[in-house]
Amino acid sequence: DAKTTQPNSMESNEEEPVHLPCNHSTISGTDYIHWYRQLPSQGPEYVIHGLTSNVNNRMASLAIAEDRKSSTLILHRATLRDAAVYYCILIRGGADGLTFGKGTHLIIQP
């Protein structure tokens, strides 16, 4: 499976935008880019996914580089509830489950 690289932790202020980077230089053409997050003491939850084009949903936006070797999860206006570990995961056809790395621990300051 292609590997992703994320910063161990990031800090941001409440009500400001947050840009969470992910590098995936060995991504293959059919790999989808998924983001999940895990709030404290909870199971992971889906955030967003994309293949080539940028994507928006009610939770976040996903910006995918033109060469697909990196992507950025954008939280437009962080709240304290967004403090979590964010996982960037590549999923290919026929994948059996998700492979989680250590993710980025996002800290939100009031």
The answer to whether 72 and 17 are in contact (CB under 8 A) is no
**Residues 26-85 within binding reach of other proteins (CB under 8 A):** 31-32, 34, 36, 41-46, 49
**Residue 45 beta carbon to other proteins: minimum distance, rounded to whole angstroms:** 7
Give the residue with the Cβ less far from other proteins, 16 or 45: 45
Binding string, residues 2-31; x marks residues near other proteins by CB under 8 A: -----------------------------x
- Angle 55-60-64 (CA atoms, 0-180°, nearest 5)? 40
The answer to whether 81 and 45 are in contact (CB under 8 A) is no
**Residue 6 beta carbon to other proteins: minimum distance, rounded to whole angstroms:** 11
d(CA 68, CA 91): 14
